[in-house]
Amino acid sequence: DTGVSQNPRHKITKRGQNVTFRCDPISEHNRLYWYRQTLGQGPEFLTYFQNEAQLEKSRLLSDRFSAERPKGSFSTLEIQRTEQGDSAMYLCASSLPLPSGNTIYFGEGSWLTVV
């Protein structure tokens, strides 16, 4: 069990550029989540997948955000035409399905700074 892996860990980009983050969940976990966290705040839910199906999306996930999980393994979160307000840490997490999956395990996060 290598834990939830995210990369890149840090990304600095110019406003208007596109960025993509990757998440590799714990191998036997079929649920995968994306959260966003700004400084001094708790994480906010963005979206989650069960296998390859995206089952829920938060209203925070604007049209510029897209998440995919092809083949139900790793996931990518793409942000198009980045804005300064997108600067945050993007956390990926994974779990087993309920009721076994009542514990969600987090990765170390990907920091995004938009300049």
Q: How far is CA 31 from the centre of its chain?
A: 12
> Is 84 or 100 the residue whose CB approaches other proteins more closely?
100
Measured from the CB of residue 86, what is the shortest distance to other proteins in angstroms?
Answer: 18
Residues of the shown chain interacting with other proteins in the complex, contacts defined by CB under 8 A: 31, 33, 35, 40-45, 48, 55-56, 89, 91, 93, 95, 97-99, 101-109
Say how many C-beta atoms besides its own lie within 10 A of residue 49's C-beta.
21
Gap between the Cα atoms of 114 and 13, Å rounded: 5
Measured from the CB of residue 104, what is the shortest distance to other proteins in angstroms?
Answer: 6
Strands across the sheet containing 19-24: 5-7, 19-24, 75-79, 65-68
> Is 17 or 51 the residue whose CB approaches other proteins more closely?
51
CB 75 within 8 A of CB 55: no
Q: How far is CA 93 from the centre of its chain?
A: 7
Measured from the CB of residue 109, what is the shortest distance to other proteins in angstroms?
Answer: 5
> Is 2 or 98 the residue whose CB approaches other proteins more closely?
98
> Is 5 or 20 the residue whose CB approaches other proteins more closely?
5
